[in-house]
Amino acid sequence: MKESLMDVICCPLDKAALDLDVDDEDDDEVLAGTLTCTECGETYPIEDGIPNLLPPDMREEAAA
């Protein structure tokens, strides 16, 4: 994901802003990292350049 995506995404639960922690990036994209809600503290993974912003209960269901 490009860092500019931060301007349009929020926590799906309470719509608060997210903090970005980058684990891996290339010239113009974040490839791996974590998004953390500044309000409720819920975390959302970024894997292979794709943020997973499903609420936690749906994330587990989708993985099953």
Partner 1 sequence: MTDDESGDLASRRGLDDAVVYQPAEDSGLLAEAAVAEAHGRVLEVGTGSGWVAQRIAEERGLDTVGSDLNPHAARQARERGVEGVVADLCSPFRADAFDTVCFNPPYLPTDPDNEWDDWMEHALSGGESGRALIEPFLDDVGRVLAPDGVVLLLVSSLTGYDEVLALAEDAGFSAEPVVEESFPFETLTVLALRRT
**Least separation, in Å, of the C-beta of 34 and partner 1?**
14
Q: Which two tokens stand for residue 41?
A: 């503290």
**Least separation, in Å, of the C-beta of 51 and partner 1?**
6
- Residues from 27 through 46 that contact partner 1 (CB under 8 A): 44
Listed in sequence order, the residues at least 6 apart from 31 whose beta carbon sits closer than 8 Å to its beta carbon are 24, 25, 46, 48, 49
Give the residue with the Cβ less far from partner 1, 4 or 26: 4
Contact positions toward partner 1, by CB under 8 A?
1-2, 4-5, 7-12, 15, 44, 48-55, 58, 62
